[in-house]
Structure formats: C-alpha cells, structure tokens
Chains A and B, each alone.
Chain A
C-alpha cells in the first residue's frame, strides 16, 4: 500500500516543501511554482499513474492556491502551488496531461489565473458579457459585490 507513496517522496525530494499524509490513500505536497512542470513530469512517469482528477483553486488571502489531484492505483496525490493574486501566472500542463485542458480554462474563468502556453483560455463557464476583473471564486468578490457589479455592467450596456 505505501509503495507508491514512498516512491513519490523520494522522487520529489528536491521539490517538496513538506509531505503531509493524513491517511494511507492521501498525500498533500506543497511545492514552489517554479518546480510545477518538473514535478508533474516526474509524477506522470511513475508506475501506477492513472489520471489527473481535477485542479482545485482555493483563495488563501493575497494568494491563490492551486491543487492538482493526481490519481495512482492506490493513492491520491494533491500537489499544491501558490500564485499571487496581482500576478497570477503559471505554466500550463496541458502538453503533459491533455485532459487538463478544461480544468485550466475553468480556473482561468473563476480565479483569473493565467496558464502560460495553454492555447485556448477563452471563457468556458462565464458569459461573454461578464465584466473584466471579476473572478467569482475569489473571496473579495462576495455574492453581493458580484451582483452590484453585474447591475452596473448591465446599465452601462
């Protein structure tokens, strides 16, 4: 059971800031965003890798944390990277995992994170008339504030 997780620990020794194992089927590994692609390449090359389950965005104050949920046969690894809200740019992983294409577009819509190298970051979920700079899942955009902004936007059009 612990075989893949030990392998992952050894493989990510230089990138992992720490390795949190809440129980035998889960791992949380925070890494620096510069190491994202290098870590991903290592992780998808390991035996037992099945798929990228999704990418979660979490607002953690001045930064957005992205969590890449990667599934192995017996463990789910969550790789965490952080980007600042002012300059939210990350390299894409679509060339490494083609199945990430919609997850990156979704995060781009809802958190405003730009993925360098992703060929298509056009709106996936938000409407064409959505005002610029409103990222609905960021905490500063409360439901009330979003409604106000949308009303202003409608009046101006």
Chain B
C-alpha cells in the first residue's frame, strides 16, 4: 500500500504552541508520526541566566499564558529551597487556592477547545462563557485575568480578604453546577461520545514507559499526581481525591478533567475556610546561596519540573524548565498511530497541548508527488463531514 505523508503545522496565530507533525498515512489510517518543535522557542532558559532571581519570577510567569501560576510556584519553590526559608502558612494556602482556580479555568478552556475539535460548537460556547466566571474570581483576588502576578520569592503579593471570600463563594456554587452539567453531557450526549469513546488509546504500560504526566496519565488509570505524591504549598493539609479513569481514550481524558474541576472547587472551598491568619510573605535577600534544587508542581496539564543552580550571586547559573506538554508528546505520538485522519484533531486536543489546530496542512502523495494544502479549519471540516457519512 502506498504511504502518503501529511505535514501538519507548524503555524497557528491564536494558540501559543505551534508544532509540526508529519503524518504518514495509508488511506485513512495513520501509520507513523514525526514531530518538530521550536517555532516559538524563545530561549527563556538562556535569558534566565542573565536576569536576577526576582526578575526571573516575571520571566517564568510568561512561559505560558494559561498555567503561568504553576510556573511561578515551581520557580519560587526552588529559590526558597536554596534560600532555606519556609514561607508563611497563609501564603501556602493562597498559593493552593490560586493554583486550583487556574486549574479550573484551564480545564474549562480545554473542554471547550476539545468540543470544538469534535464539531460540538455549542459546548465550546458554553464552557468559554462559564470560564469567564473563574476569570472574574481570579481578577477579584489578583487584579488580573491572566499572568496574575501573585507569586513572589518568599510568599504571595496580595492577600484574600473576607469580602472577597464571600464574593467567591457564589461563583464557586455556580461553577460546581456547570461542571456537573458538563459531566452529564459528556457521559450521555452522542455528539461527544461518538467522537471520543475508544479514540486515541494509550494503554497504562505505554503511558508509564513513555513517561506521560498529568490528566493524560490519569486517564490511563495511573493515579500519579504531584499534589498527592509530593505535597507542596498547602496540599498536605487539604483532603482531595486523585481522579483516574479506566478507558484510556479521549472520553476518559475529558471525564478526568471535569472531575478535577469539581475536586478543585472543593479544595478552594476548604482552603478558604481553613486558611490561617498571619503574614503573607517574608523578606528575602537578593543573593542566593550556592547550591542546586529541583522543584516539582502539578500544573493543570501535568508535572512541571524546574532545576535551579546557584553560584552565590544574584543571578542563576542555570535554570532548567520542563513543562508537561513536552513530557506528553511521546505519548501523543503513540496515541496517534492507527487513528483515522478525521480523528487527528481530537486526539491531539486530548493531551491539552494548545497546538491541536494547526494553520496549514499539506498533503503529499509520495507516488504522484501531487501536493495539496489544507488549513486547520479545512481539516476540522473534513473530520466532521467524514463522521456525518
């Protein structure tokens, strides 16, 4: 059978991570996947070596617009470990609360995005409307909808007042109802089930050997979560469940994330109620003692890991960042083998990479050398039409 190569990507104007896949297909079936990154590599690790520890808080916040708080938490934890300081209890709770709010907004954004890839635009409109609620909450406590600027070395920059807590409570109730409604839709509605059940399988042993992280791993029924395995911030003091599902497909990845939003809402409620009084930050020196530290957090998309090395000056010698998408790409390549061309968008969306909808798709017939180009939209339309047949 002749094999056709389909380059997918790399540019997309709206999403932050352009990527290039080359799919080798036989008729409708994907037989091999190759990938290429770097289209928006900004050299942040190199930049960090030329900035002070405090400047780097703002730099790492801008690695990702969606999970910015996870990055600053991971970074400040590493610096605080080298400084040998323990941040105030109240700051730990506020870090937990903000991190969970970020998880809710990320999962709502993702659910809408995945629904859109599956041709279910109504759900996209609903989730993105409801996401505004959690963004308003984040704006209430931080003053900003994205890149909250909450974290600093030694604690948190803004406190959560009692009036804010009252305002947040109503909104959390609303979000809880919405999440329950989405769960009903995603377990009953044929529009979503037909496109996601049994699609993009990642068996548990593959997920482990390919070092998958986050909801992608938990949807393959592996209960790994940095918040539970290595409790940071206030996670050690708050009861919560690690969500797993057993079907190993895109449907499981959807349900893991919806359940996680409900769990996050409970964590936020518990933390707001049990938050100790006291200071929110401690003063820290400019220079960081010589040494090295490794810090991990559970970002919305999975494990973030930072390695930090100091020579005793006010700038790091080395700051290594590994965000969850890179860890999940080998698993994604595995999931894509044997899927139909029409399922590519929804499987890519399944790992929450922010790159699923590529700008241009070029199809190359290797025998006739015939080429044709599709936009990301055209591929999505093709996928929806293919399923209507």
Contact = CB atoms under 8 A, between A and B. Distances in A.
Interface in B56-71: none
A28 B309 CA distance: 13
Given A54-B320, A125-B37, A136-B43, A101 B296 contact: no
Contacts of A50: 208, 224
Interface stretch (B120-128, B274-282, B323-331, B335-343): B323-331
Identify which of B81, B209, B303 gathers the most chain A CB atoms within 10 Å of its CB: B209
A105 B294 CA distance: 21
A101 to B, nearest CB: 6
Nearest to B308: A56
Nearest to B208: A51
Given A51-B211, A76-B294, A98-B210, 14 more contacts: A51-B224, A53-B211, A53-B322, A58-B309, A58-B317, A58-B318, A69-B294, A69-B307, A74-B230, A78-B294, A97-B211, A98-B209, A124-B38, A143-B46
Contacts of A59: 318
A28 B212 CA distance: 23
B294 A143 contact: no
B296 A53 contact: yes
Contacts of A143: 43, 46-47, 50
Contacts of A97: 209, 211
B241 to A, nearest CB: 18
A73 interface: yes
B229 interface: yes
Interface residues of A, number: 36
A67 interface: yes
A23 B305 CA distance: 17
List 8 A-B pairs, minimum CB-CB distance, nearest first.
A99-B211, A125-B38, A54-B322, A51-B211, A56-B320, A56-B307, A99-B210, A58-B318
Interface in B204-221: 208-213
B377 interface: no
A54 B45 CA distance: 15
Nearest to B291: A22
A125 B44 CA distance: 13
Contacts of B293: 22, 26
Contact of A123 (B38, B224, B331): B38
A100 B322 CA distance: 13
